Amino acid sequence: MPAASYDCTRCGACCFNPPENVAEGFVGYIEVEPRDSLRRRPELLARYVREHEGTLHLRLLADGRCMALSGSAGRKVSCRIYHVRPSPCRRVSAGSELCQRYRREQGVAQAR
Ligand code: SF4
Ligand code: SF4
């Protein structure tokens, strides 16, 4: 399946805390790694990042979505901090097994 058929702007599934984390009570989903440029943006850190168990993570809303995700998952989404999004956000490639798992978990239809 070509990655081009997975349109991230109509998805956003990997921007939600996965069910296995929720089940175990983990609220730290995406870590902001030491070299991430987001670390050097104090105004964005204050808004979108929190410390959890000694490390920095993206803040999540009550429904598990990353606070930086705008729009409606599975329909139309965008990342408010796209150009400085943390490293883990960049590691999920569209169409990969992980991507497909996230889409299944969040009820986003599989690409055709
Ligand atoms: S789950 Fe896949 S298609 Fe959806 S936003 Fe993430 S990488 Fe893109
Ligand atoms: S920072 Fe952007 S790409 Fe990363 S989880 Fe949040 S909304 Fe998604």
The span from the CA of 103 to the CA of 37, in Å, is: 27
Which domain range does residue 60 map to? Answer: 3-105
Q: How many domains does the chain have?
A: 1
**Is residue 41 situated within a structural domain?**
yes
- Ligand 1 center to residue 15 CA distance, Å? 8
Nearest residue by C-alpha to atom 5 in ligand 2:
15
**Is residue 110 situated within a structural domain?**
no
- Ligand 1 center to residue 5 CA distance, Å? 11
**Is residue 8 situated within a structural domain?**
yes
At 111 the pLDDT is 57
Q: What is the pLDDT of residues 1-12, one digit of tens each?
A: 444 489 999 999
Q: Is the pTM of this model over 0.75?
A: yes
**Is residue 59 situated within a structural domain?**
yes
The span from the CA of 84 to the CA of 102, in Å, is: 22
**Is residue 111 situated within a structural domain?**
no
At 107 the pLDDT is 93
| Ligand 2 binding residues, C-beta < 6 A | 15, 30, 58, 66, 68-69, 79, 81, 85, 89
pLDDT at 77 over 70: yes
**Is residue 31 situated within a structural domain?**
yes
Q: What is the pLDDT of residues 82-99, one digit of tens each?
A: 999 999 999 999 999 999
Please report which confidence band the pLDDT of residue 41 belongs to, taking 50, 70 and 90 as the band edges.
Answer: very high
At 27 the pLDDT is 81
* Local structure of residue 83 (DSSP, 8 states): G
The span from the CA of 58 to the CA of 67, in Å, is: 7
**Is residue 98 situated within a structural domain?**
yes
- Ligand 1 center to residue 11 CA distance, Å? 6
**Is residue 17 situated within a structural domain?**
yes
